[in-house]
């Protein structure tokens, strides 16, 4: 039985809660995964903690009106750090907003979780991109798990594909569409919509970042490229190493003339091994329509992994969305369940009895 604390109860946290609520029986029967959500803490929506477990339907209903702190019978109003440190959770799910420049406050949440002995599962791109090595080392030193499948292409298993299914290959290059908003804008411009109209629609659909620059200037794609470089290729790639250009200079004329040539503009994130070094970029590229990435429209993401043993493998799937990203957290929780089974903690009384026994000196053996 895992006790979960969800930090950040926006789209992703709620998506996870909905999945857990709906599929509890299936997860137990088919995956042997049992859980109880003991805490939810959100900066705007409020916080509640019950060491015995919260009623998720109640939390979801209260969240709609930013009233989680009115949950009756629970300890309420704790901030994120208190919830992480003081709760009896085994796993912290970090799903607060992402800040690609400072990584805060999520990076502090990451450290607090691991330092207080809790596994960490996240969809947060900022701290995963900027501090991947530090967080991975901290988790390793505490024998805890740090899982982050949802940071790239939401629930589409891009990182698990690379880490598990392609094991034994040398991954030489990863290139792909890792930002749904810009792909949605480019696809809609090709259909005749203006840049502004398409951006507005992406914002209304809820997958654009709060500050549009994060998407359209390529910062979001850059964070994902850095995560791929560090986590998949083990490379030392930082923000300054990524050649980054967004889509703001692509005009309707550019799109139409590409179309006339049988080509399509896509914002491509790329990490490649080149002569002993790893290079990373995010930039608009004019792809031939025969390229598997060229046919990927709307907010969908796609990544092509070029390997030495099996050549190219392309994965296509959602890059954002409530249930899709909530699923990414679920898949990480199931991985923890498989690889680090929850330790059954003895009830306090039993544990005290056991301690007494240990302290009592053994009777001297008769000679
Ligand atoms: N703004 C991001 C995108 C959300 O459009 O892909 C998912 O990371």
Give the position, in ligand 1's atom list, of the atom nearest the Cα of 209: 1
Q: What is the pLDDT of residues 223-262, one digit of tens each?
A: 999 999 999 999 999 999 999 999 999 999 999 999 999 9
Which is it for the CA torsion 253, 256, 257, 263, positive or negative?
A: positive
* CATH number for position 282: 3.30.360.10
Q: Which residues of the chain have pLDDT under 70?
A: 343-367
> Whole-prediction pTM value?
0.92
pLDDT of residue 356: 52
User: What string of DSSP letters covers 207-226?
Assistant: -S-SSTHHHHTSHHHHHHHH
pLDDT for the residue numbered 180: 95
> Per the structure block, which two tokens stand in for 182?
């810009």
Q: Are residues 131 and 229 in the same domain?
A: no
d(CA 269, CA 279): 11
**28, two tokens:** 């137990």
User: Residue 181: CB within 6 Å of ligand 1?
Assistant: yes
Question: Whole-angstrom Cα distance, residue 55 to residue 237?
Answer: 43
Q: How many domains does the chain have?
A: 2
Q: What is the pLDDT of residues 297-333, one digit of tens each?
A: 999 999 999 999 999 999 999 999 999 999 999 999 9
pLDDT for 367: 40
Tokens 């709060």: give the residue.
Answer: 210
Residues 41 and 141 in one domain: yes
Residues with a known catalytic role: 224
Q: Which of 12, 208, 326 to mutate to test the pocket of ligand 1 (most atoms within 8 A of CB)?
A: 208
Place of tokens 């498989």: 338
Q: Are residues 294 and 348 in the same domain?
A: no
Helix or strand (DSSP H, E) at 46: strand 46-49
Domain that holds residue 58: 2-155+322-356
In this prediction, residue 363 carries a pLDDT of: 46
Helix or strand (DSSP H, E) at 36: strand 35-42
Assess whether the C-beta atom of 171 lies below 6 angstroms from ligand 1.
no
Q: What is the CATH number of the domain that holds 23?
A: 3.40.50.720
Look at residue 343 in the predicted model and tell me its pLDDT: 60
């Amino acid at each position: 039985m895992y006790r979960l604390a969800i930090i950040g109860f926006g789209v992703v946290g709620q998506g996870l809660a909905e999945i857990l609520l709906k599929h509890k029986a299936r997860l137990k029967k088919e995956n042997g995964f049992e859980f109880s959500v003991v805490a939810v803490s959100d900066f705007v929506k409020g916080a509640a903690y019950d060491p015995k477990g919260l009623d998720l339907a109640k939390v979801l209903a209260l969240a709609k009106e930013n009233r989680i702190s009115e949950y009756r019978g629970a300890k309420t109003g704790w901030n994120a750090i208190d919830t992480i440190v003081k709760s009896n959770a085994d796993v912290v799910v970090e799903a607060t907003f992402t800040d690609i420049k400072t990584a805060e406050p999520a990076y502090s949440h990451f450290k607090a979780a691991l330092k207080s002995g809790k596994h960490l599962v996240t969809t947060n791109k900022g701290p995963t991109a900027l501090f991947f090595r530090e967080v991975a080392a901290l988790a390793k030193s505490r024998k805890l798990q740090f899982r982050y499948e949802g940071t790239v292409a939401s629930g589409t298993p891009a990182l698990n594909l690379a880490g598990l299914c392609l094991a034994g290959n040398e991954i030489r290059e990863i290139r792909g569409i890792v930002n749904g908003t810009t792909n949605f804008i480019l696809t809609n411009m090709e259909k005749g919509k203006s840049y502004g109209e398409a951006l507005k629609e992406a914002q209304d659909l809820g997958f654009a970042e709060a500050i549009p620059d994060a998407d359209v200037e390529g910062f979001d794609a850059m964070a994902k490229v850095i995560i791929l470089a560090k986590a998949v290729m083990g490379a030392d790639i930082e923000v300054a190493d990524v050649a980054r250009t967004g889509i703001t200079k692509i005009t309707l004329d550019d799109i139409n003339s590409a179309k006339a040539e049988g080509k399509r503009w896509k914002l491509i994130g790329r990490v490649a091994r080149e002569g002993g070094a790893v290079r990373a970029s995010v930039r608009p590229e004019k792809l031939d329509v025969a390229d598997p990435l060229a046919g990927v429209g709307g907010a969908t993401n796609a990544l092509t992994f070029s390997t030495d043993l099996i050549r190219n493998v392309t994965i296509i799937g959602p890059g954002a969305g409530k249930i899709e990203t909530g699923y990414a957290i679920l898949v990480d929780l199931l991985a923890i369940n498989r690889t680090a089974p929850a330790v059954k903690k003895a009830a306090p009384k039993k544990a005290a009895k056991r301690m007494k026994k240990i302290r009592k000196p053994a009777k001297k053996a008769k000679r």
